[in-house]
Amino acid sequence: MDNLFQIAARRKFRFSSLKGQLTVEQLYDLPLQAVSGFDLNSVAKEVNAELKAAGEEDFVGLVVSPARDELVQKLDLVKHIIQVKKDEAAAAQAAVARRQELRRLEEVLGRKQDAALENLSPEEIEKRIAALRG
């Protein structure tokens, strides 16, 4: 995949969008989907439409089409960026879930520790107070 980014940089790939041409770097700023249509999904659809309009794929490899190859590379790049953003969103969601579970566990632990203190006899409480006062 790194080679594909190098190709994109050297060939100065640009991607059509509702707001004009975008660089590879700008694709990372787009959301996966947006009501406005200014999103990665729309960019991918546009590249895919251009690819379909470029003609059928040559599976034997006898016909060389640099324009079609570039569109395939562009689509691969957009799909990669979409996957990266989906993975990042999933990781962020998992991190939120972990933080929420940790917070709940800490609250339960606090309640259990309070309950354990409540169950101490008056003598045990007095001993602990004396020990803490030094």
Q: How buried is residue 8: exposed, middle or buried, by Cβ count under 10 Å (0-12/13-18/19+)?
A: buried
pLDDT at 64: 64
Model pLDDT, residue 56: 72
Q: Could you give the CA distance from residue 134 to residue 124 in angstroms, rounded to a whole number?
A: 15
pLDDT of residue 59: 72
pLDDT in tens, the chain (134 residues): 779 999 999 999 999 999 999 999 999 999 999 999 999 999 999 999 999 988 776 677 656 678 899 999 999 999 999 999 999 999 999 999 999 999 999 999 999 999 999 999 999 999 999 999 98
